[in-house]
Structure 1
Amino acid sequence: MKLKKSVLGIVGLISVIGLSFGLYSTENPTETLSNYQNSYECHPAVIHAPRSVEEVQQVVLAALNEGQKVMTGNRKFASQIDAACVGDGQVQITLENMNNIVAFDASSMTVTVQGGMRFNDLNDFLRSQELSVNMVTELGIFTIGGMLGSGTHGSTLTKKSNMLADYITQMKIVDGLGEVRTLTGEALNAARVNLGVLGVVVEATIQLEPGFKVSADVQGYRSDDGLEDIILDIARDNYSANIAWFPGIGRYATTLYNEVPLETLGNAYNAQADVSDIQEYFFGLLFDALHEVPGSGLQCLATKIRYGARDTSYFRDFDSGGVVASPVGESDRMQYFECKATDACVWDNLPIALQEIAIPLTQLPNWIRDVREVLASHEKTCFPLNGIYFRFGKASSSYLGMNAGRDTAYLGIEYTLRQEGNAVPKNYFVNLEIEQMSIRKYGGRPHWGKNSVAIFENIPEKFEKWDDFLAFKNQMDPHNVFTNPFWERAKGDDGLDNYRTPGCNARGECYCEIDEHCEAGTSCQIGAWYTQANICK
């Protein structure tokens, strides 16, 4: 799953290069899928690109009869890990040829689309109908099926949900027996976030709302004192709030959206991904330098530069191309940005990593206080991309959404890697202490498409309806046709202890237990403040 925002605006889908790939391989693959940064490859026996529901059924039935496994994912998949990859030598499906609108009902404000349709293409159509989707993700190029598989989300506490999956009113799936099932009611809740293990989502019906515009307000604050005391008010008092906290330099920046009538003047768009090739080149040099120069001085200097790109408007006028200080524009163009092409975003070429975890909303102030304690216990550490990035969402009726059953704060931490993508991030041990504190002390749930292998520990304990999801999967897929290595790890059948091998911490496959798990020159130690964490330092 792909992240979002350049070093002038990176927020979301960034690969853990060198930290989570190479879990399986074949000597002579006949087909290859790779993620957007070419840092992770999958080697199925065949990749099918069906053009109809009937063809999907044929593929599934053939795999069932031959005892093979099936998974759906794009050839250039938008994920850091192998969540959408079938195992080696198995059957991969891509819905690249099933990317159309199936039905549209203006009176009921619903649209039915095929699973391979991209979100930005859907928004282009809805804009022409003066309709919109209640979902505020930032990157608009994901496929609808992929968004439902991983629970792609944005940030809002004023709408029903921040997750597209919660606006689905009906879903059509080809199940593990090759049959077409139409899901509604409680079955739909089970399938809203499905990880691709229930079957192939071939169609989804989405509830829409009247079109609207939004105004955006971008502000920077040169002191983060008391942020924990006001952050929930910021989130609740605006239609959508994205907050980038830079604790290493004591600052934060906010991007706040609020609805305005459709007739309001303004034609702005979100330009955070508008980065030139030469800018990308220099960012790459900077990333290398951050790792080569001792200490955190250069890392913190880069953080100040990055903060300076977030404390003023990064929105441009759609007609003139000029920066707009007080931007107003169509809701989709303001909230969902695009890149030069589907596979030509700045993060496609730069080695960046991101971990994202969801915790109960009301615990966020305490979490911020604890992070301050962690950082104070280590040498100075800065976060030079989006700092620590906060987004927000209401509780979901989905079984496996990150916000299932609880109002949620989403915590994203991005960090740089060397250009070759195989080096441990700068001050990685600090990130790992915060990460383990988040998932253990705060019951954090990792994003299904981001993160590394180790963070998915004890997943069944984190979802109240986990057993209900497994029971529903057994109904949908009694012969376990839809499975992959990621799913086997998540549910514990392939235990994470199996990945505790020399150097596994540097690869993101384990939290260390012994020095052998660490990279050369470091040892396995307890966390400096959160002593239930193990870090290589």
Structure 2
Amino acid sequence: MACGQQRAALALLFVAVLQASLCSLQPAAAAPVLPQSVGTSYQAAYHYVKCEADYVIEPASTQELADAIKAYKQLAEEQGAQLKVRVSRRLFHSTTSFVCPAQLKSYAGPESNPKVLSVGVIQDRMNYTISTDPAKFTMRIAAGMKLREFTAEATRVGMSVQVGSLPAYAGLTMAGVMSASGHGSGDNATSNICDTLLSVTWVDANGNVRSSSRDSEEGKLFCGGMGLIGIITELEIQLTPPSHTKLITRYLANDTDIVGDIAKMLKVSPHMLVFWRPDMRLYSAFLLKPVSTSVPAGDAHMTLLPSYKGRTNMAHLFRVIQDDIFDDTMRYSGIQESVMCPTVAANSVGKTWASDSKGEDVLFAVGKTNDLAASECWDDCAWNGPSYNGTAEDVHLSIEWDDLQDWTTDIKNMFKYDLWETKFDQGRCLGPGYIWLRFGHGSPDYLSMSYDMKRPVYIQSTWLKSRSSMDKFPMRYGFITDLLEEVSLCKYKGRPHWGKNFARTFTHPECSIRDRYPRSFDKVLALQDKHDPQRMFEPELWQHIRLQEPLKPYPRCALDKTCYCQEDIHCPEQHRCIASLAPGLESYKVCKPDWRLQPQSGRA
């Protein structure tokens, strides 16, 4: 080798050694600066679901959340873990686990990825107004603002919410309602928050802050999409000038022709909610109709979901009633029927939409739109306060209007043949609760309950049961509500509300939720691939839907609401898995009390 070549080689070697030395002197990557964790769990107000997480944080702004996502992403990479992030509130109003970042223990089978770093994001501090535009009647709000805060703020700045856009319960968050496909009522009219949405600000899987218009591909997934591609932090909402609304009530009407009655009432106003009790053959309907502000507004305000604070404590009696699966000590028949069923009616289908300033019930009134939009019962609702020590059994789906007549016939037959099965059962009525009927329009949103539908009807079955007994017995006569749930899901191809229902509703082995969205599901997956390829925001239950993978049944799984019974072993103790007796519903099975254990009853 020539001298020049030797010198060149030595020079290259010297440079390489120097670079290696310099690299070894470089400081290590800075450790991620994590936000303060405020715990490792959060749970449902209904007490069905408790979410566990490695970290639970409460950011107060979009930027705080963005910084947190970047920090946890770095930490997960250093640990070689998959990052899972979900957003909710400290006490969330859901019966499903979509809000949980980690897999629930109640889901049978091994974890799909045991190396997970899980983060729960609580938006309780994100409950404020960011800006308003009085000329355009728009508000930009933080995503954690509750409906009651939103209507109060709208009143303060001289605006009104749009009639029909909000659900009845004012304790929900605006972004939560929007993400879960929550809704108000409006037959081919304004019927949900997304009808009033202009844009969303959100944080993606890389911690970047983004903004999407209502009509964008991303906007069509944030409405009803459970935050599968990112976390909503801000909403821009279209409101109206201050307005007045007329309340019209049809109170305790006979349900013989309930569908025909509804069709007539919808011509008066599309914004209507119906409470129906098939066991009492009664319904009450509440219509909200916009009127001119030249019509004076009184002091009526919505109290449909009242506070039970200070009322007589019924928790022990309620537990006794629920535990009495064989009708031994508290029968809904004879003299007991004459006392119990009217009391139940007064606390369910006998409720009124509004009250005046004196606390008197109001059936007909003109009030300010914001005052008649939604109501709150705080920590003293029937399902979360001490009066009943109760919880709600809440099933919520959408079906087509064209199927409503057949559906109501099937529901009536369930009560006739399954609840009033023998001569011993004619006095039976369910406990506190009702079936809600609300109305909407076809939606362009890819996972909306009303996506691509012609004329959706929202059916909701809400019933109170004792929290003290829920791990031992189902709700009293709960086989009726179980039957209603599965028939609505499978026979009527119902689309579930993402914040209601149970794990089994979304994982039925023969009634795939994925198949409910044949024209949009692939678009959802494409948006996930684009914005969250690592599936940071994808909850465990969604994976079962995406893979069309049912949960594995196990003993008493029907009591846990993770399966519909097929065998007796799936039922609670002292129950059997029995086919429905209603005409045309014989293929559906439910857990009924095993009367063979009570031969003296004459029913075995």
1:503 aligned to which of 556, 580, 598: 556
Counterpart of 1:173 in structure 2 is 202
Note if 1:534 corresponds to 2:598: no
Conserved? CA contact 2:382–2:391, under 8 Å: no
Q: Give the whole-Å Cα distance in 2 for the aligned partners of 1:315 and 1:46.
A: 42
2:283 aligned to which of 252, 255, 265: 252
Structure 1: which amino acid aligns with 2:300?
A
Counterpart of 1:13 in structure 2 is none
Counterpart of 1:316 in structure 2 is 355
Conserved? CA contact 1:34–1:40, under 8 Å: yes
Conserved? CA contact 2:551–2:562, under 8 Å: no
Structure 1: which amino acid aligns with 2:129?
I
Q: Give the whole-Å Cα distance in 2 for the aligned partners of 1:260 and 1:153.
A: 22
Q: Give the whole-Å Cα distance in 1 for the aligned partners of 2:176 and 2:445.
A: 16
Conserved? CA contact 1:120–1:141, under 8 Å: yes
Conserved? CA contact 2:129–2:142, under 8 Å: yes
Q: Deviations over 1:207-251 (max 9, x none)?
A: 222221222223324522121323233234314211122111222
Counterpart of 2:384 in structure 1 is 348
Conserved? CA contact 2:430–2:476, under 8 Å: no
Q: Please, which runs of 5 or more residues in structure 1 have no aligned partner?
A: 1-28
Q: Secondary structure at the match of 2:313?
A: helix
Structure 2: which amino acid aligns with 1:505?
A
Q: Secondary structure at the match of 1:219?
A: strand
Counterpart of 1:143 in structure 2 is 173
How far is 1:61 from its partner? 2.0
Conserved? CA contact 1:270–1:336, under 8 Å: yes
Q: Give the whole-Å Cα distance in 2 for the aligned partners of 1:120 and 1:312.
A: 20
Q: Secondary structure at the match of 2:505?
A: coil
Conserved? CA contact 1:317–1:324, under 8 Å: yes
Structure 2: which amino acid aligns with 1:35?
A
Q: Give the whole-Å Cα distance in 2 for the aligned partners of 1:62 and 1:296.
A: 58
Counterpart of 2:444 in structure 1 is 397
Q: Give the whole-Å Cα distance in 1 for the aligned partners of 2:94 and 2:71.
A: 27
How far is 1:505 from its partner? 0.7
Displacement over 6 Å in runs of 4+: none
1:230 aligned to which of 248, 256, 261: 261
Further displaced range: 270-279 or 244-253: 270-279
Q: Secondary structure at the match of 2:211?
A: strand
Note if 1:432 corresponds to 2:478: no
Q: Give the whole-Å Cα distance in 1 for the aligned partners of 2:557 and 2:267.
A: 40
Q: Give the whole-Å Cα distance in 1 for the aligned partners of 2:98 and 2:208.
A: 24
Q: Give the whole-Å Cα distance in 2 for the aligned partners of 1:344 and 1:196.
A: 30
Counterpart of 2:61 in structure 1 is 52
Pairs within 5 Å for 1:220-369: 220-263=251-294, 264-279=296-311, 281-282=313-314, 285-286=317-318, 288-292=320-324, 293-294=327-328, 296-297=332-333, 302-308=340-346, 310-311=349-350, 313=352, 315-318=354-357, 320-339=358-377, 341=378, 343-349=379-385, 350-369=390-409
Distance 1:76 1:221, change over 3 A: closer
Q: Deviations over 1:424-467 (max 9, x none)?
A: 11222222222211111111011111111111131111123122
Q: Which of structures 1 and 2 has the bigger CA Rg?
A: 2
Distance 1:44 1:290, change over 3 A: closer
Q: Give the whole-Å Cα distance in 1 for the aligned partners of 2:339 and 2:545.
A: 38
Pairs within 5 Å for 1:9-158: 31-65=40-74, 66=76, 67-87=82-102, 90-134=118-162, 135-157=165-187
Distance 1:277 1:241, change over 3 A: same
1:417 aligned to which of 465, 468, 489: 465
Q: Give the whole-Å Cα distance in 1 for the aligned partners of 2:168 and 2:92.
A: 17
How far is 1:382 from its partner? 3.0
Conserved? CA contact 2:40–2:55, under 8 Å: yes
Structure 2: which amino acid aligns with 1:317?
D
Distance 1:414 1:299, change over 3 A: farther
Q: Give the whole-Å Cα distance in 2 for the aligned partners of 1:276 and 1:517.
A: 35
Q: Deviations over 1:144-179 (max 9, x none)?
A: 2211221221112263x3111232111111111222
Q: Give the whole-Å Cα distance in 1 for the aligned partners of 2:435 and 2:369.
A: 25
Q: Give the whole-Å Cα distance in 2 for the aligned partners of 1:230 and 1:274.
A: 27
Counterpart of 1:408 in structure 2 is 456
Counterpart of 1:518 in structure 2 is 571
Distance 1:313 1:56, change over 3 A: closer
Q: Secondary structure at the match of 2:221?
A: helix
Q: Give the whole-Å Cα distance in 2 for the aligned partners of 1:373 and 1:455.
A: 22
Q: Give the whole-Å Cα distance in 1 for the aligned partners of 2:462 and 2:523.
A: 33
How far is 1:367 from its partner? 0.7
How far is 1:486 from its partner? 2.6
Conserved? CA contact 1:32–1:43, under 8 Å: yes
Further displaced range: 378-387 or 132-141: 378-387
Q: Give the whole-Å Cα distance in 1 for the aligned partners of 2:351 and 2:570.
A: 43
Counterpart of 1:7 in structure 2 is none
Distance 1:244 1:287, change over 3 A: farther
RMSD: 2.4
Q: Deviations over 1:241-287 (max 9, x none)?
A: 11122111222111222222234231111123434434362266246
Q: Give the whole-Å Cα distance in 1 for the aligned partners of 2:173 and 2:252.
A: 36
Conserved? CA contact 1:303–1:385, under 8 Å: no
Distance 1:284 1:460, change over 3 A: farther
Q: Give the whole-Å Cα distance in 2 for the aligned partners of 1:280 and 1:508.
A: 31
Q: Secondary structure at the match of 1:209?
A: coil
Q: Secondary structure at the match of 2:575?
A: coil
